[in-house]
A and B are shown apart, each in its own frame.
Chain A
Amino acid sequence: MFQIMVVEDDQNARKLMEAVLTRYGYEPILAKDGVEALELMDQKHVDLIILDVMMPRMDGYAFTNALRTGGCTIPILMVTARQTQEDKKRGFIIGADDYMVKPVDEEEMILRIAALLRRSQIAGERKLTVGQTTFFYDALSVKTPEGMIELPQKEFMLIFKLLSYPNKIYTRRQLMDEIWDMDSESDERTVDVHISRLRERFRNVGDFEILTVRGLGYKAVIRK
């Protein structure tokens, strides 16, 4: 069971988080400010942190900064009333992994927590499994029922990214920015070419499929 720490100074808000997390099968660890949170982290294992920003003694930004400069890569979800773009940017720059503005929709928060945990697991293990297919990030290779295939770097990164967030639509530009260099000569048609190559390669693999979303981009879906 994942252990999720909630750092929030308002008592009722803390209680609410505890109730919601427990309902969805997580184990909550509660802290009322940054200082207490750091103390608790020494004693318990934490998989993810839900962090308020405006707190006494040590605010969310200072806490995140302390963790990140200390080399800690635990995913942090900032949940705060601060809603301006500047606040969001600051949160991300300081090292938060995701940002939600209060009041949060509980279901959405749970979905985001699940995505963050999944991403963190993938990042930790550097491999991704979909049905009977496993992608090995460090070797740029894929193990299918037919055997091991090695992929060119760009193709591998493309399919890895799409499958890390199945059902999420990416625009061609987003894929280009992340996988190709910013100064690269290639344009968005390059993405199309790589996608068709990937489709060709995994034609016989029934675990997943790459779909084109008209006018928007591509997404990977998992087939059972």
Chain B
Amino acid sequence: MREKKQSVVDSDVKNARWKKGSDGKVNDYGAGESERRRRRAEFRKISSLRWRLTLFVFSLFIISGVLTFVVSCLAILLFRGNALAVRIILNPVSLSLILLCTCAIFGTGLAAFFGKYYLRPLKRLSDATREVRDGNYKVQVKYEVDSHSEMSTLVKSFNEMVRELDGVELLRNDFINNFSHEFKTPIVSIRGFARELQMGDLTEEQREEYLRIILEESDRLSRLSTGVLELSKLENQQIVSGKSRFDLAEQIRRCILLHEPAWSAKEIEVIPELDEVEMFSDEELLERVWSNLIGNAIKFTDAGGSICVTLREDDDHITVQVRDTGVGMSEEVCRHVFEKFYQGDASHGGKGYGIGLSLAKRATELCGGAITVQSELGVGSTFTVTLPRK
């Protein structure tokens, strides 16, 4: 149970074979039976550029040879009468010279003619790349749909890459906009009310209220900044940084204990029903998930309520559920609850800041799992995390 952290690269290499043909986000680690089979299949496709080139050179020599033969025959016919001329023509040296000339003229002509045709997609590609460099993420390159040649494959991949970049750009802009809005809003309140307080001539009630608002918004800002830092760190993470073997039941228990001041202050009963399950995954990431779900359950459950945390293991999955008897959420809210900055209930706006659940979702996904929610207004919410069994 206290083993060293195992690098994730090992398992990725083993899985590369089975990951072929998926979303393509895993690197192709090369050698393997399926790889060899793929190469063999490609050889058979004559439309491959390599084959075309070979055929081209081959036909060039054949045709040149034929032409030489024809030209020399014509020459012999022409100079039938002149024996000396015939001997000169039939001389291997002169024949080679004729062959060379026909090759040169014919080859150059062919290359000049067809070269332009073959290099056209390459030119289109380099133009498109220049546009992407200048910031246009909407450019796509046309290509012939005989999708087996290397050029077509390259163009197809290029188009996919540009589409990805466009998607990322969209996310980034959205994020920046939301982020600055979420930060500026509390600052406006804090500054505004502080100025009001400075002016004086307020009733005692107003003073109390303005100070309370300033405190509330400051809290919100601080939680927001912590959360956003965490989230951007996770979003930039593509792979899990370090997996280890650990006791999941114990991790959840300790997480519950970490929140003890909060749930005991509210006299909420926490009921753990945990199977003893050992997990091989990123301990820190999962810690985030449990902490967030339990924290939310406590936040949104009124005094005297209860929170049930279960951990079950079956053949394929490990399932963790956090069920509370809190205020619950409407169907509409459930649909958006994992989005960044989303705060479902306006009246609870002061408590949440909208980042926690998108963090939990991201962390779960990085661990290869999924998170769902079921809720009923006034009854409670149940968050379910399923993780793959390793």
Contact = CB atoms under 8 A, between A and B. Distances in A.
Contacts of B261: 108
Given A169-B260, A171-B250, A216-B253, A83 B274 contact: no
Contacts of A101: 226
Given A215-B271, A215-B272, A171 B253 contact: yes
A103 B217 CA distance: 13
Contacts of B256: 216
A83 B271 contact: no
B284 interface: yes
B206 interface: no
Interface in A94-136: 101-103, 108
Contacts of A84: 233
Contacts of B226: 83, 101
A101 B227 CA distance: 13
Interface in A72-106: 83-85, 101-103
B215 to A, nearest CB: 11
Interface residues of A, number: 16
Interface in B256-271: 256-257, 260-261, 270-271
Residue of A85, A108, A216 with most chain B CB atoms under a 10 A cut-off:
A216
Contacts of A174: 254
B183 to A, nearest CB: 15
A15 interface: no
A216 B222 contact: no
Contact of A169 (B2, B222, B229, B257): B257
Interface residues of B, number: 21
Nearest to A84: B233
B331 interface: no
A27 B253 CA distance: 38
A158 B260 CA distance: 21
Residue of A103, A169, A215 with most chain B CB atoms under a 10 A cut-off:
A215
A85 B253 contact: no
Contacts of A217: 253, 257
A103 B260 CA distance: 20
Nearest to A217: B253
A173 interface: yes
A215 B247 contact: no
A103 B250 CA distance: 29
Nearest to B2: A182
Interface in B282-335: 284
A171 B274 contact: no
Interface string A26-40: 000000000000000
A117 to B, nearest CB: 19
Interface in A153-212: 169, 171, 173-174, 182
B339 interface: no
Given A83-B229, A103-B222, A171-B254, A214 B271 contact: yes
A171 B250 CA distance: 8
B273 interface: yes
A66 B106 CA distance: 84
A214 B229 CA distance: 36
A182 B2 CA distance: 10
Interface in B220-268: 222, 226, 229-230, 233, 247, 250, 253-254, 256-257, 260-261
B28 to A, nearest CB: 32
A182 B1 CA distance: 11
B346 to A, nearest CB: 25
Contacts of B253: 171, 173, 215-217
Interface in A13-70: none
10 smallest beta-carbon distances between A and B, as pairs: A215-B272, A103-B222, A171-B253, A173-B250, A169-B257, A85-B284, A216-B253, A83-B226, A169-B260, A216-B272
Given A83-B230, A216-B272, 18 more contacts: A85-B284, A102-B222, A103-B218, A108-B261, A169-B257, A171-B253, A174-B254, A182-B2, A215-B270, A215-B271, A215-B272, A215-B273, A215-B274, A216-B253, A216-B256, A216-B270, A217-B253, A217-B257
